[in-house]
C-alpha cells in the first residue's frame, strides 16, 4: 500500500511536468495534466481507505542533512481521513478543469497552470503525512506558493492581482506563527520530529497555552477563522472555478488538520481552549453566513459560506476539547466526531457548489446573480446538482451536511445537564440553529435569483448546459453527498480510530460512545430514503398517468399581469434586505435606493453593497500605518555600500552582546 501512495504522488507530478513540457497553447497540456491528477488521486485513495478500514499505520523515515530530526512521513488514521477528501476533490476537479479551461487554450499557458495544480495536490498530501516540523513547513510553503500561482491565473486583471497579493500576505503571516509554534515545541523536545512532540505531551501551561494560541492563529489563517479570513473572499472568486473548489473544499482543511494534529502534542487540554474554539466557531459561523447573505457575486457568496462551515467545524472541535478537559468522554467523542466528519462533508458539497458556480459562469460569462435567472430550463443538470449541494450545505436531511451537524447538536444537548459546560453547549445549539436558518435564507435567494424566474439578461437567456466533462464531476460529488448520508451509521463507526487519536480515549470506548448516535442516524437515514423513494414513485406515477394525454401550459394570473417581466422579480438585494437590515450593526451595508415616482414610474431600483468590515476597519488601517512607518525609514537608504556594511556590523555586535 505504501508503494501505491508514493506512486500516486509520482504520477500526479509526472502529469504536471509533462503538461508543463508540452508548453504554451498545446491542446494536450490540459488533457495530460488533468488525467495525471485523476489517475494519481484514484490510486492514492486505496492506501488511505486501507488505513481507515484496517487500522494499519504506514511509516517511512530516513536520515537527511537538515537539522532537528529525520525525514519522516506516516499515514495514521487522522492523516488517512484527510487524504480522502484531498484525493477525491482534487481528482474530480481535475476532470472538470480540463474542459473548463479549454476556452483559454489560445490565450493562456495551460501547461504552467496544470503544473501548479499538480504541485498543490502533492503538497497537500505531504502536509498531512509529514512527521517532521521542517518537512511540514517546507511543503506547507510549497502549497501556499502553488495556490498563489493558481489564484493569479488571470493575472491581467487588476482585481485578480490584488486578490493574489492579499492571499500571499495572509498566508505568510500565518506561516510566521507556525514557525514560532514549531520553534517553541522543538526547544523543549530537542527535535522537530512529531514522534518526540507526541512523547513529550507538553502539559506545562507555560508551553501548552502559548503553543495552542500560535496554532489557532497560524492554522486558523489558512482555515479562514474570523478575523483571519480576509484573503478567502478575495482569492476564491479570483481563481478558476475548479481551483476554487479545490481550495475551499480541501486546501483550507489543511489548517484544520494542522490544528487537530497540534492538539495531539498537547495534553491534557485546558477548558479555556474549548471555550476559545467555540467562540471562534460562533463568530465565524454566524458572521460568515451573514456576509454570504449580503453578496451579489455567486463565488464570493460561496467563499463566505466556507468561513461559515469552518466555524461549524470549530464548534465541534471546541465541544470535543471541553469534553476532554471536563472528563466527559461522550461529549468529547461527539464533538470531535461531528467536527471532523464535517471536514469530509464540506469538501463534498462545497466542491460541488463551486463547480456549479463555474458551470454558470462558463455558460453565461458572469458571476453577478442579478444578471442571471431562469437557468433551470436551460441548465437542468447544473440546477439539480447545485440544488443538492444547497440542501447539503444548509444541514437539511436527507443529505450529508445534516449528519455531522446532528452529531454536534446531540453532543451539545448531552452536555446541557452539566452546569460547568451548559453555557458553551447552549451557545453551540443556538449558534447552529441560527447558522442553519440564515443558510436556508441565503440559498433560497441563490436558487430563486439564479435558477428560477425569467432571464434578466441576454446572456442568461442564451445560456446552455455544460458538456458531460463538466457535468460528471458535479454529479459524482452530488452522489457523494447522498452516499455519505445513506451510509452515515457505518461511517460514524469508522470514525472511532480517528477520534481516539485526537481525544486520547481508547478506540473501543470511542466506538461504544458513538454507538448512542447510530440508532437515531439509522432512523433518519431510513426516513430520508423512504421520502426520496416516495417522491420517485409519485413522479413515475404522474408520468404514467399523463402519458399519451395532452398537457397544456398557461401563465399564472399574476395579479392581472399576463406577461410578467424580469424586472418584476426579486433581486439579490431586495430578497435579502429585511434580514440584512436586522444585522446592519455588523454588516454596515451601504444602500442606494432609487424610489419610484408618480403612479407609473419610469424607473426604480435598490442596490446594496457590503464590504468586509474586518478588512476595512482592521487590516487596511493597520497596513497603511505599516506603510507610513516604512516610508519614514527611507532616510536609512543612503545608497552607499559603506553605510550598509556598517548596518551589518552593528547588527552582528548587537547579536553577539545578546548571546553573552
Beta-carbon count within 10 A of 207 CB: 17
Based on the number of CB atoms within 10 Å of its own CB, is 457 exposed (0-12), middle (13-18) or buried (19 or more)? middle
Place of cell 477563522: 225
Q: Is the pLDDT of residue 660 over 60?
A: no
Q: Is the pLDDT of residue 649 over 80?
A: yes
| Per-residue pLDDT at 206 | 78
Beta-carbon count within 10 A of 289 CB: 26
Would you put residue 558 in left (φ > 0), alpha (ψ -120 to 50) or beta? left
Report whether 354 contacts 396 (CB < 8 A). no
- For residues 398 and 524, what is the distance between their CA atoms, to the nearest angstrom? 8
| Per-residue pLDDT at 594 | 75
- For residues 87 and 79, what is the distance between their CA atoms, to the nearest angstrom? 12
- For residues 34 and 28, what is the distance between their CA atoms, to the nearest angstrom? 10
Q: Is the pLDDT of residue 211 over 80?
A: yes
Nearest to 398 by CA among 515, 536, 522, 532: 532
Local confidence band at 241 (pLDDT 50, 70, 90 cut-offs): very high
Local confidence band at 215 (pLDDT 50, 70, 90 cut-offs): very high
Local confidence band at 612 (pLDDT 50, 70, 90 cut-offs): confident
Once rounded to an integer, what is the mean pLDDT over residues 121-147? Answer: 95
Report whether 403 contacts 485 (CB < 8 A). yes
Q: Give whole-number Cα distances, 610 to 106, 161, 296, 576, 586, in Å.
A: 37, 21, 9, 12, 10
| Per-residue pLDDT at 638 | 66
468-486 and 400-415 are packed helices; what angle lies between their axes, rounded to 10 degrees? Answer: 30
What does DSSP assign to residue 568? Answer: G
* Element holding 258 (H helix, E strand): helix 253-263
In a domain, 485, yes or no: yes
Place of cell 449580503: 294
In a domain, 283, yes or no: yes
Local confidence band at 430 (pLDDT 50, 70, 90 cut-offs): very high
Nearest to 275 by CA among 233, 240, 228, 325: 325
- For residues 589 and 580, what is the distance between their CA atoms, to the nearest angstrom? 8
Q: What are phi and psi of 40, to 5 degrees?
A: -65, -40
| Per-residue pLDDT at 387 | 95
The residue with greater pLDDT, 310 or 645, is 310
Once rounded to an integer, what is the mean pLDDT over residues 464-490? Answer: 92
110-129 and 77-100 are packed helices; what angle lies between their axes, rounded to 10 degrees? Answer: 170
What does DSSP assign to residue 102? Answer: G
| Per-residue pLDDT at 555 | 64
Q: Is the pLDDT of residue 447 over 60?
A: yes
- For residues 520 and 528, what is the distance between their CA atoms, to the nearest angstrom? 12
| Per-residue pLDDT at 586 | 86
- For residues 91 and 367, what is the distance between their CA atoms, to the nearest angstrom? 25
In a domain, 426, yes or no: yes
| Per-residue pLDDT at 94 | 95
The three grid cell numbers given for residue 246, joined into one nine-digit string: 479545490
- For residues 217 and 493, what is the distance between their CA atoms, to the nearest angstrom? 32
Tell how far CA 137 is from the center of its chain.
21
Local confidence band at 306 (pLDDT 50, 70, 90 cut-offs): very high
- For 591, the 3-state DSSP assignment is strand
What does DSSP assign to residue 419? Answer: T
Nearest to 354 by CA among 97, 85, 33: 97
Place of cell 487522522: 78
- For residues 374 and 372, what is the distance between their CA atoms, to the nearest angstrom? 7
Which of these ranges, 216-220, 551-555, 583-587, 617-621, has the smallest mean pLDDT? 551-555
Report whether 37 contacts 94 (CB < 8 A). yes
Nearest to 359 by CA among 460, 261, 466, 276: 466
Contact partners, residue 464, CB within 8 Å, separation at least 6: 363, 378, 379
The residue with greater pLDDT, 175 or 549, is 175
- For 61, the 3-state DSSP assignment is strand
- For residues 371 and 571, what is the distance between their CA atoms, to the nearest angstrom? 9
User: Beta 58-62 vs 71-75: how paired, if at all?
Assistant: antiparallel
The residue with greater pLDDT, 603 or 453, is 453
Which domain, by its residues, includes 329? 271-541
Once rounded to an integer, what is the mean pLDDT over residues 276-304? Answer: 94
Report whether 445 contacts 572 (CB < 8 A). yes
Q: Which of 256-260, 460-464, 599-603 has the highest mean pLDDT?
A: 256-260
- Residue pLDDT, tens place only, 63-89: 877 777 778 999 999 999 999 999 999
Q: Is the pLDDT of residue 562 over 70?
A: no
- For residues 224 and 614, what is the distance between their CA atoms, to the nearest angstrom? 13
Local confidence band at 559 (pLDDT 50, 70, 90 cut-offs): low
Q: What are phi and psi of 299, to 5 degrees?
A: -75, -35
Alpha-helix residue ranges (DSSP H) falling in 507-619: 507-546, 572-582, 584-587, 613-614
The secondary structure of 203-258 as a DSSP string is --HHHHHHHHHHHHHHHHHHHT-TTS-TTHHHHHHHS-HHHHHHIIIIITHHHHHH
The residue with greater pLDDT, 346 or 196, is 346
Which of these ranges, 30-34, 190-194, 589-593, 653-657, has the smallest mean pLDDT? 589-593
- For residues 296 and 606, what is the distance between their CA atoms, to the nearest angstrom? 13
- For 276, the 3-state DSSP assignment is helix
The residue with greater pLDDT, 602 or 75, is 75
What does DSSP assign to residue 211? Answer: H
The three grid cell numbers given for residue 209, joined into one nine-digit string: 497555552
Nearest to 13 by CA among 96, 90, 115: 115
- Residue pLDDT, tens place only, 148-189: 999 999 888 898 999 999 999 999 999 999 999 999 999 888
60: β partners: 73
- Residue pLDDT, tens place only, 349-378: 999 999 999 999 999 999 999 899 889 999
593: β partners: 606
Longest dimension (CA), the chain: 96
- For residues 522 and 546, what is the distance between their CA atoms, to the nearest angstrom? 36
Which of these ranges, 19-23, 163-167, 210-214, has the smallest mean pLDDT? 19-23
- For residues 321 and 304, what is the distance between their CA atoms, to the nearest angstrom? 26
| Per-residue pLDDT at 435 | 95
Once rounded to an integer, what is the mean pLDDT over residues 545-558? Answer: 74
The residue with greater pLDDT, 143 or 642, is 143
Once rounded to an integer, what is the mean pLDDT over residues 5-14? Answer: 94
Q: Is the pLDDT of residue 292 over 70?
A: yes
Local confidence band at 397 (pLDDT 50, 70, 90 cut-offs): confident
Q: What are phi and psi of 242, to 5 degrees?
A: -70, -30
Long-range pairs for 61-66 at CB < 8 Å and ≥24 separation? 61/131, 66/134
What does DSSP assign to residue 74? Answer: E
- For residues 632 and 652, what is the distance between their CA atoms, to the nearest angstrom? 24
- For 506, the 3-state DSSP assignment is coil
In a domain, 409, yes or no: yes
Q: What are phi and psi of 136, to 5 degrees?
A: -60, -50
The tally of domains found in the chain comes to 1
Which of these ranges, 65-69, 428-432, 518-522, has the smallest mean pLDDT? 65-69
Amino acid at each position: 500500500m505504501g508503494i501505491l501512495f508514493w506512486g500516486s504522488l509520482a504520477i500526479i507530478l509526472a502529469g504536471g511536468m509533462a503538461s508543463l513540457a508540452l508548453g504554451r497553447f498545446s491542446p494536450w497540456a490540459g488533457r495530460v495534466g488533468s488525467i495525471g491528477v485523476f489517475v494519481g488521486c484514484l490510486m492514492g485513495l486505496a492506501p488511505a481507505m486501507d488505513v481507515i478500514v484496517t487500522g494499519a499505520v504506514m511509516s517511512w523515515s530516513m536520515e537527511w542533512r537538515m537539522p532537528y530530526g529525520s525525514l519522516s512521513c506516516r499515514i495514521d488514521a487522522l492523516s488517512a481521513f484527510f487524504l480522502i477528501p484531498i484525493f477525491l476533490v482534487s481528482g474530480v476537479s481535475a476532470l472538470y478543469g480540463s474542459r473548463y479551461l479549454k476556452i483559454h487554450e489560445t490565450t493562456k499557458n495551460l501547461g504552467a497552470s496544470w503544473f501548479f495544480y499538480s504541485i498543490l495536490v502533492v503538497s497537500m498530501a505531504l502536509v498531512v503525512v509529514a512527521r517532521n516540523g521542517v518537512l511540514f513547513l517546507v511543503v506547507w510553503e510549497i502549497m501556499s506558493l502553488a495556490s498563489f500561482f493558481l489564484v493569479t491565473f488571470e493575472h491581467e486583471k487588476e482585481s485578480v492581482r490584488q486578490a493574489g497579493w492579499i492571499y500571499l500576505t495572509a498566508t505568510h503571516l500565518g506561516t510566521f506563527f507556525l514557525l514560532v509554534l514549531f520553534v517553541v515545541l522543538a526547544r523543549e523536545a530537542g527535535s522537530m520530529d512529531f514522534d518526540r512532540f507526541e512523547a513529550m505531551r507538553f502539559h506545562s501551561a507555560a508551553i501548552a497555552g502559548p503553543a495552542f494560541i500560535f496554532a489557532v492563529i497560524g492554522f486558523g489563517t489558512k482555515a479562514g477563522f474570523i478575523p483571519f479570513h480576509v484573503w478567502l473572499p478575495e482569492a476564491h472568486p479570483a481563481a478558476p472555478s475548479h481551483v476554487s473548489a479545490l481550495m475551499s473544499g480541501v486546501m483550507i482543511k489543511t489548517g484544520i488538520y494542522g490544528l487537530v494534529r497540534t492538539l495531539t502534542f498537547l495534553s491534557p487540554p485546558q477548558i479555556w481552549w474549548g471555550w476559545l474554539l467555540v467562540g471562534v466557531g460562533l463568530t465565524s459561523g454566524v458572521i460568515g453566513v451573514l456576509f454570504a447573505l449580503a453578496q451579489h457575486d455567486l463565488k464570493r457568496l460561496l467563499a463566505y459560506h466556507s468561513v461559515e462551515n469552518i466555524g461549524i467545524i470549530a464548534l465541534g472541535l471546541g465541544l470535543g476539547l471541553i469534553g476532554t478537559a471536563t472528563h466527559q468522554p461522550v461529549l468529547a467523542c461527539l464533538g470531535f466526531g461531528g467536527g471532523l466528519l464535517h471536514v469530509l462533508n464540506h469538501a463534498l458539497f462545497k466542491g460541488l457548489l463551486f463547480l456549479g458556480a463555474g458551470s454558470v459562469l462558463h455558460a453565461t460569462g458572469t458571476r453577478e446573480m442579478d444578471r442571471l435567472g431562469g437557468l433551470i430550463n436551460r441548465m437542468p443538470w447544473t440546477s439539480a446538482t447545485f440544488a443538492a449541494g444547497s440542501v447539503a450545505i444548509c444541514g437539511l436531511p436527507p443529505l450529508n451536511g445534516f449528519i455531522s451537524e446532528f452529531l454536534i447538536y446531540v453532543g451539545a444537548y448531552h452536555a446541557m445537564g452539566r452546569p460547568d459546560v451548559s453555557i458553551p453547549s447552549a451557545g453551540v445549539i443556538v449558534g447552529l440553529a441560527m447558522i442553519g436558518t440564515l443558510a436556508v435564507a441565503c440559498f433560497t435567494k441563490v436558487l430563486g435569483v439564479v435558477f428560477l424566474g425569467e432571464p434578466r439578461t441576454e446572456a442568461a437567456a442564451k445560456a446552455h448546459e455544460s458538456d458531460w466533462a463538466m457535468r460528471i464531476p458535479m454529479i459524482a460529488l452530488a452522489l457523494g453527498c447522498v452516499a455519505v448520508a445513506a451510509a452515515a451509521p457505518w461511517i460514524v463507526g469508522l470514525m472511532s480510530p480517528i477520534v481516539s487519536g485526537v481525544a486520547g480515549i481508547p478506540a473501543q470506548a470511542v466506538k461504544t460512545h458513538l454507538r448512542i448516535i447510530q440508532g437515531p442516524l439509522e432512523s433518519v437515514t431510513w426516513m430520508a430514503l423512504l421520502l426520496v423513494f416516495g417522491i420517485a414513485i409519485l413522479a413515475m406515477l404522474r408520468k404514467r398517468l399523463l402519458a399519451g394525454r395532452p398537457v397544456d401550459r398557461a401563465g399564472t394570473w399574476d395579479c392581472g399581469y399576463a406577461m410578467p417581466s424580469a424586472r418584476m422579480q426579486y433581486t439579490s438585494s431586495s430578497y435579502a434586505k429585511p434580514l440584512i437590515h436586522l444585522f446592519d450593526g455588523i454588516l454596515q451595508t451601504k444602500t442606494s435606493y432609487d424610489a419610484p415616482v408618480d403612479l407609473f414610474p419610469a424607473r426604480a431600483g435598490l442596490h446594496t453593497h457590503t464590504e468586509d468590515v474586518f478588512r476595512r476597519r482592521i487590516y487596511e488601517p493597520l497596513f497603511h500605518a505599516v506603510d507610513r512607518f516604512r516610508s519614514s525609514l527611507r532616510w536609512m537608504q543612503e545608497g552607499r555600500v559603506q553605510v550598509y556594511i556598517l548596518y551589518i556590523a552593528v547588527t552582528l555586535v548587537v547579536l553577539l552582546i545578546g548571546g553573552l
